[in-house]
Amino acid sequence: MTHTDTQSNEGDLAAAPGGVGAVTEPVPVPVPVPVDEKPLGTRAPSFVRGSRPLHMCWQVGVFIVGLVVVVVGIIMLPLPGPGWLVIFAGMAIWATEFVWAQLVLRWTKRKVTEYAQRALDPRVRRRNIILTTVGLVICGALLAVYVWKYGIVMPWSISE
């Protein structure tokens, strides 16, 4: 074995077109997508994706519609109505076009599934039933004390 056989190939790398100091483009690594999940990216029709200005207008329109739905959902939080459901509907509208919204929805679905599985655990269900029963008994006792002390007073006069 000669001295050149044991050397590294550093000299060869420097002479090669993609050697030391050369800027090469990164090779895209495919991200594994679970079978039940769609790949990330736009869901716009092909004729919209074909034209850059049309696609930008499409994205602005999707963003505005999603924003209106999310704002309505936020307004519904303190008011009567399904606020969280409307907020997630707005996120679903955004997810048709924006990768960040798709990632947020995937994370939310994973967390909801985790919590649903955890809630189905018999020990957790038993604990929740016991806590609910204790809470109802306490509320019933407080209501009974209130009625015993103040009685039931209707806000209207029946004798009129």
The answer to whether 102 and 40 have CB atoms below 8 angstroms apart is yes
Position 13 in a domain: no
- What pLDDT is attached to residue 65? 94
CA 73 to chain centre: 15
DSSP 8-state symbol, 16: S
Position 43 in a domain: yes
CA 29 to chain centre: 24
d(CA 143, CA 9): 85
**Nearest C-alpha neighbor of 72 from the set 57, 56, 93:** 93
Are 135 and 114 part of one and the same domain? no
**Nearest C-alpha neighbor of 22 from the set 30, 32, 12:** 12
Are 70 and 137 part of one and the same domain? no
How many domains, the chain?
2
Are 112 and 41 part of one and the same domain? yes
Are 88 and 74 part of one and the same domain? yes
Position 126 in a domain: yes
**Digits of tens for pLDDT over the chain (160 positions)?**
555 555 544 444 444 455 555 555 555 555 454 556 677 777 777 777 778 888 888 889 999 999 999 999 999 999 888 988 999 899 989 988 888 888 988 898 899 888 888 878 888 889 989 999 999 999 999 999 999 888 887 777 766 5
Are 90 and 142 part of one and the same domain? no
Q: Give the range of the structural domain holding residue 143, as residue numbers without chain letter.
A: 121-150
Position 125 in a domain: yes
Are 134 and 62 part of one and the same domain? no
